A = this chain, B = another copy of it.
Amino acid sequence: MLTFGGGGFAIAHNGNITNALSLRYDLVKNGSIFQSTSDTETILQLVARSSADRTIKRLVDALLQIEGAYALVILTNKKLIGARDPFGIRPLVLGNLDGAYILCSETCALDIIGADFVREIEPGEVVIITENGIESINPFSKTEKRLDLFEYIYFSRPDSVLDGKSVYDCRKSFGNVLAKEFPVDADIVVPVPDSGVPAALGYSEQSKIPFELAIIRNHYVGRTFIQPSQSSRHSSVKLKHNPNKSSVDGKNIILIDDSIVRGTTSVKIIQLMRDAGAKKVHMLIACPPIKFPDFYGIDTPETEQLLAANHSINDMCSFIGADSLGFLSLDGLYKAMGYKDGRDNNNPQFTDHCFTGDYPTDLKDYKDEKIQEQLSLLSDNDINI
């Protein structure tokens, strides 16, 4: 017999469980007490509830109940365990340093500590590392490799290699293809730093238009994405970027960014360029329009707030104040990733729901509004308590 009372089960999670609230609803109804609002705690509660008698079996019990995207790293008193969702939406890699195994999301983490890359954990794989070595199981009846394209577009660091492809090289390729799809007559190519830099270098390389680092990023301010609210996100754009006026003044410029979500950053950046004296500002985006929300790992806005979900490209161009606006095509994106025939619509090579609405997993929580309301920590609805 084993209990959970002995401590010893720590879990780290990259991703998002898409049926966490439904599972939580049932668990709470049956007497579990949650300590947090995190979807990750649901996994722990499911492990605790399992009637199996071995740690791995209990974990598998839990994994077979959860839906969504996850790369998990688990530490018990005796084991280091890694687990990747059956579509491999989030990456997970195995490294080795002086004989010790390492599990991490990206290869750059291995580089930084001087470890060797061993291999990627496969979709649906559960890898168990003990003092006796490493073994793997795959508890799922069906797995299918569909890494999230957003890892190449935005999430991963440029110095990482995912599934054998350099993220930096992929982003430069996006710029190369963008230059073919949208040739523009301009004086300079300017990246929105830092995420637009590789695509802008790719565009410049292909178009022969000079690359200029005309926007300086203030590194004392954090990433736009993780600011808590829209209003603080607003003012932080102003604090974050400053133009080199002498590079911009009187020029026709091509501005390159990795993506447009709400469009608020683009509005600010284009205004910055105009205030610095730019004659024309052509905005080019190194991915297709984001029309569908993400549920697999980032706090993207709901559909209503996604600029491309509700506007034509012409309307978007007006909204952001650009002289022209272009997005890399979906097939262009797949071509830049090395698939010369573009997307395989029958068996898409990647998870690309943000552009296509094609979600590989069920999204139970998001369909059932009642569940979300009932479990709210600020509920006024507890008439029986």
Contact = CB atoms under 8 A, between A and B. Distances in A.
A100 interface: no
A15 to B, nearest CB: 21
A382 B242 contact: no
Q: How large is the interface on A (under 10, 10 to 19, 20 to 34, 35 or more residues)?
A: 35 or more
Contact of A169 (B28, B54, B246): B246
A48 B32 contact: yes
A55 to B, nearest CB: 5
B45 A31 contact: yes
Chain A interface, DSSP helix/strand/loop, else mixed:
loop
A197 B169 contact: no
Nearest to A108: B242
Contacts of A112: 218, 238-239, 242
Interface stretch (A82-90, A205-213, A226-234, A296-304): A205-213
A89 B243 CA distance: 26
Contact of A213 (B157, B197, B246): B197
A77 B44 contact: no
Interface in A242-266: 242-247
Nearest to A27: B31
A374 to B, nearest CB: 7
A239 B112 CA distance: 6
13 contacts: A1-B384, A2-B384, A2-B385, A4-B28, A33-B35, A76-B382, A111-B242, A111-B243, A112-B218, A159-B216, A166-B245, A168-B213, A201-B213
